[in-house]
Structure 1
Amino acid sequence: MRLEGKIAIITGAGSGIGKATADLFRQEGATVVGADLHGADTRCDAGSEADVAALIDEVVTRHGGLDIFFANAGISGGLDSIFEQDEKAWAEILRVNTIGPAMAIKHAAPHMKERGGGSIIATASVAGLRSGAGGPAYTASKAAVINLVKVGAQQLTGSNVRVNAICPGLIETGMTQFVYERARAKGKEDRLGHLNPLQRGGEPIEIARAALFLASDEASYVNGHALVVDGGLSSSHPFNLQAYGRTAI
């Protein structure tokens, strides 16, 4: 019961990582309000400041405070190249993926400070670390999230409100479903995630466990950090073992 007595908001809670995290947080004793456009406790456009502010105010009024905000909602925008994505696509992806977490920090942190502290977590991505894991707007939006949590941590100095990010690798969710379906249709499901040392894709619960750590007092000294959960994918630049006269075990 690592979150016993805590009050948490999770966006993007209708499926995938958000749903798995909401379920896990509840098992660990938290009162959780899941928000999404579909399939969650509360309808919320995570990229709308008005919606985010109203959601936080409602939770604080109903439950008496706020301890955890997991700004998990996001959209991919597909894999179009920089020459194919137009201004409208860029604006929408940045609105949801980057502005959404920024508004979560802005409106959640004051309530957490009143309670003596709290934890804000944002979903970034390995795509935010380097290219090759998403479209250009998605990659830029997630890189912005990684630096956003660093800025947030600094600007909340003295508040005991921690701000961190999680950078998932390939996880089977609604966002990546087309990748998994295409691989299965071609009989190549075993190739999914083969570029990381664990040679597999991840499950939503594996990201949920990372969120649980960051939300809990076990991470009481972790702040302004981007926790990578990708099976080791980002631990190395791509290279070919055979080209160096080496083979894997």
Structure 2
Amino acid sequence: MTRTYLVTGAASGIGKATAALLRSRGHNVIGADLKDSDINADLSTVQGREHLIHAAEELSGGVLDGVIAVAGLSHPIPVTAAVNYYGTVATLEGLRPLLTRSPAPRAVAVASMASLQPFDEELVRLLLEGTEQDALARAAELATTPATGHQIYSSSKRALARWLRTTAPTAEWAGAGIPLNAIAPGVVLTPMTTELVATPEGRAKLNEQVPMPLNGPFDADVAAKLLVWLADEENSHLCGQVIFIDGGYDAVLRGDSTW
């Protein structure tokens, strides 16, 4: 059965691979990104998020079978927190009414294995409980030094994972029959990381920093396949899961602590 999906971050990386895979399987895809997409929207701003919701409703005819929120940044700057957390939450919450009109709605976000890495407690708290203005002010403080700037990314992904865990089982999501889940990718091969693994020395250094014993870093289509399954009708009972597709990084780092 042909389904209609909205994919953010559809112009590159995991989002592009996901949109391509869905289309190859005969589904309708509405892509969203900063540019070169069906919907061009800046998810770091309130206006951009509102434009995404309105445009998605118009292009979908008011019904979406799946929302796959991939758009994100990794730069050590405040806008990373704005896109990764507020942009993703606004996408999911804003498009939920369109999902409720589908006979088999699904929603998936992209977190990160970085959610397990050092983070800033105050930024996470503000993202979850404070105002966007205060959260971005805290991110701006962190961005003043390289030692803390990198925590903006990990903090934004940790906050997103925590939001998803508490939100997925609620009446608005699980109670409405909408599975809400996320993936947490390890190192995905991009032009930047491809350079890092081009030499034995680079591979050794990356493996030391981010051990992925099962097959190491991977292409974007590996993550796309998992996203597509989570957004498919076959996934009927996963709720609030953050699935680490990371070649074993989570298991190496946390061992049996999940139990």
TM-score bracket for this pair, using the shorter chain length = 0.7 to 0.9
**RMSD across aligned positions (CA):** 2.3
* Residue of structure 2 in register with 1:84 after alignment: none
Structure 1 residues 70-219: aligned runs within 5 Å: 70-78=68-76, 89=77, 91-131=78-118, 135-155=150-170, 156=172, 157-173=174-190, 177-184=191-198, 188-191=201-204, 192-193=206-207, 195-219=211-235
Aligned equivalents of 2:96, 2:82: Cα separation in 1: 20
Change (3 A) 1:196 1:167: same
Quote the offset at 1:208 in angstroms: 0.1
Q: TM-score, normalised by structure 2?
A: 0.77
SS of 2:106's partner is strand
* Residue of structure 1 in register with 2:123 after alignment: none
Change (3 A) 1:149 1:117: farther
Identity of aligned residues (%): 30
* Residue of structure 2 in register with 1:66 after alignment: 64
Aligned equivalents of 1:5, 1:53: Cα separation in 2: 27
Change (3 A) 1:193 1:217: farther
Pairs aligned (count):
220
* Residue of structure 2 in register with 1:223 after alignment: 239
Aligned equivalents of 1:182, 1:204: Cα separation in 2: 16
Instruction: Give 2:231's aligned amino acid.
Output: A
1:20 aligned to which of 8, 17, 40: 17
* Residue of structure 2 in register with 1:245 after alignment: none
Quote the offset at 1:49 in angstroms: 3.6
Aligned equivalents of 2:90, 2:39: Cα separation in 1: 17
Quote the offset at 1:5 in angstroms: 2.2
Aligned equivalents of 1:27, 1:179: Cα separation in 2: 27
* Cα pair 2:169 2:175 within 8 Å, conserved: no
Gaps of 5+ in 1: 79-88, 240-249
Instruction: Give 2:185's aligned amino acid.
Output: P
* Cα pair 1:190 1:200 within 8 Å, conserved: no
SS of 2:35's partner is coil
